[in-house]
Amino acid sequence: MTTKQETVQDTLRQPSELLYHQELEALKAADTGKVPAGWQMSPKAVLTFITGGEAGGVAITPKYIGNKRLVEMAIATLVTDRALLLIGEPGTAKSWLSENLTAAIYGNSGLVVQGTAGTTEEQVRYSWNYAMLLANGPSPEALVKSPIMRAMEAGGIARFEEISRCASEVQDALISILSEKTIAVAELGQDVSARKGFSIIATANTRDRGVNDMSAALKRRFNIIVLPSPADVETEIEIVRKRVGEIAAQYDLQAAVPGDEALRKVVTIFRELRSGVSLDKKEKIKSPGGAISTAEAISLLTGSMALAASFGDGELRDADLAAGLQGAIVKDDDKDRLVWQEYIANVMKKRGETWRGLYNACQELNS
């Protein structure tokens, strides 16, 4: 192992291209397809990287489980040098997919603009090193390029997270970038033009709809793909199991990975609360106000594991799960507490012996 990778081991969270370095190299080596300009592998290899498979004897783990067709559509979009917009409920793996696509296609998933209410147009285009600007006037050295500008110069892919959190005028700065594929630096009298391979993957949250709605002009410049919640329980359990295992390894959690039973219970509770109906579709259930996504199920389980490791014996107990569930479902609203109480009393209680332990623990915490 090289020193570089050792230092990488220390970082809290590795970018996808380092985490799956081996898989990417294997895919590149085994790739026989035509590689589009600016890409580091063929579209088919990218598809294998995301949906799993095998390349040159190396097993490729699936990164996005569930709907293969959506991934195909995302890749097909990027082949046609169109920008891609992923929309979905919180926790439907929008950022995860965008990061992995970028890692596979461009090899660097680090060119990110994080959209917030405070994001300014400079962060999308470019800004200045004001000390140098004042000292020497406008010069290429004083120019501070945005991630998007750097991606244009390198012919790579920039990511724009939570685009709908930005003010409309900031969003609209993208319009000229996406249609002209240049950024004009008026102060220097220069244009920075995109090289082949440049594209943008943006993500937006459906819960933010109506906050800063994207203009029609901007929407028109994106291919929009809606990422759904996992289609069925099995898919969701699969996703949760895989991510929990990965995170546990990464953070070196000293607790056993939760068994199938615990996974199934958590996923069942989450799915029922999310859809407002019990899995057998026989009972109506109230939904809490906050989002209860797959991503939260994952963090709930890893959180519970941390609890078990730090304060328990490393074995995931019902009490740990109950604490996690309480925190994930009852956010700040008192109403959520009632919803949760109702669920415990009406649904969980009737589930029989296997749920008894969890029921008691939840009941105790929520009363």
Site residues (vs other proteins, CB under 8 A):
43-44, 47, 68-69, 72-73, 75-77, 79-80, 82, 85, 87, 219-220, 223-226
Angle CA 263–264–270, to nearest 5 = 90
Q: Identify the residue whose tokens are 């993957």.
A: 201
Q: Is the dihedral of CA 21, 297, 91, 46 positive or negative?
A: positive
In whole angstroms, the minimum distance from the beta carbon of 70 to other proteins comes to 9
Q: Both tokens of residue 367?
A: 């009363």
Q: Which residues lie closer than 8 Å to 260 by C-beta, 6 or more apart?
A: 237, 241
Which is nearer to other proteins, 3 or 32 (by Cβ)?
Answer: 32
In whole angstroms, the minimum distance from the beta carbon of 39 to other proteins comes to 12
In whole angstroms, the minimum distance from the beta carbon of 30 to other proteins comes to 17
Which is nearer to other proteins, 2 or 80 (by Cβ)?
Answer: 80
In whole angstroms, the minimum distance from the beta carbon of 35 to other proteins comes to 13
CA distance 194 to 33: 25
Beta strand segments in 61-198, E: 83-88, 112-114, 126-128, 143-145, 157-161, 182-185, 190-193
Which is nearer to other proteins, 81 or 121 (by Cβ)?
Answer: 81
Cβ-contact 60, 23 below 8 angstroms: yes
In whole angstroms, the minimum distance from the beta carbon of 296 to other proteins comes to 23
In whole angstroms, the minimum distance from the beta carbon of 44 to other proteins comes to 6
Angle CA 205–210–212, to nearest 5 = 75
Which is nearer to other proteins, 27 or 300 (by Cβ)?
Answer: 27
Which is nearer to other proteins, 220 or 350 (by Cβ)?
Answer: 220
Which is nearer to other proteins, 190 or 206 (by Cβ)?
Answer: 206
